[in-house]
Amino acid sequence: MPSTPWVSTGFDWVLMGLALLSLGLAARWLPWFKLRRDNEAQHVYFAGIVCLVALRFAVFDKIPGLSLHFFGAAIATLMYGPAFALWAMAFSVGVAALAGAGVWLGMAADFVTGGLLPVAWMQCQHWLIRRRLPNNVFVYVFATAFLGGALSVLIAQLARAATVAWMVDGASAQAAHNFLISAPMMMFGEAFFTGGAMALMVAYRPQWVASFDDDVYLKPPADE
């Protein structure tokens, strides 16, 4: 069993500053009008936060030294947009810390690697796909949601592996190796989870998905 990792105080302050900066910017640009006087939107958002919190308690801990769980960052980004998604992820980290579910190397490190980076990646990928690939439901589900879920977890796992390899005392090499070998398993699980959830929602409740526009993805093909 690897020894308990420890992060330097300086690096922890850097992560805390990055987390607070991102949340502050997100708060400034939060599209509150989407929730104001819309009971359904409010219920969907807060239900999503509850689901993100629940994911923190569904832990896979068969690999020594690791406690793995679904992130849900890709789904949160596609459903609510990046600003609301960041605050939802932050809330889930805070609840996990208070409820004893555990956070990775502290709240700041957990949020930055498991929330901020996956949300930022998912938003960038969605933006690129919208501009580079045909806008249809198939592309949205498989290229945006399925692939986005997989790559968002890969980004998180690589960030955690790099962090423990660079800044953590103790058995850092083994800890980094464990994050890398767990990445494929996490990618497939998150990809199916994200792709399946988004496929169901765009089919039955597209109004819940901020990133899905009927006029864009369901428009008839242009005449030749």
Question: Per-residue pLDDT tens for 6-23?
Answer: 556 677 888 999 999 999
Indicate the SS3 state at residue 45. Answer: helix
User: 195: pLDDT confidence band, cut at 50, 70 and 90?
Assistant: very high
pLDDT of 61 reads 65
Ramachandran area for residue 38 (φ above 0: left; ψ -120 to 50: alpha; else beta):
beta
Across 54-63, 91-100, 186-195, 203-212, least confident range: 54-63
Residue 192 has pLDDT above 70, yes or no: yes
What predicted TM-score, i.e. pTM, was given to this entire model? 0.88
pLDDT of 8 reads 62
pLDDT of 148 reads 95
| R_g of the chain computed on alpha carbons | 18
The mean pLDDT of 177-193, rounded to a whole number, is 89
In the chain, where the domains are located: 7-209
Q: Is domain 7-209 given the CATH code 1.10.1760.20 in the classification?
A: yes
Residue 157 has pLDDT above 60, yes or no: yes
Which helix (H) or strand (E) segment is 51 a member of?
A: helix 39-57
Q: Is the Cβ–Cβ distance between 12 and 18 less than 8 Å?
A: no
Closest CA to 202 of 222, 221, 218: 218
Please report, rounded to a whole number, the percentage of residues in the chain having pLDDT higher than 90.
Answer: 55
pLDDT of 224 reads 44
Q: Which residue has the higher pLDDT, 222 or 26?
A: 26
Report the alpha-carbon angle 74-104-61, nearest 5.
Answer: 85
Condensed to tens digits (0 to 9), the pLDDT of residues 97-113 reads: 888 777 888 899 999 99
Average pLDDT, the chain: 86
Condensed to tens digits (0 to 9), the pLDDT of residues 59-100 reads: 776 665 566 888 999 999 999 999 999 999 999 999 988 887
Residue 170 has pLDDT above 70, yes or no: no
pLDDT of 84 reads 95
Residue 124 has pLDDT above 70, yes or no: yes
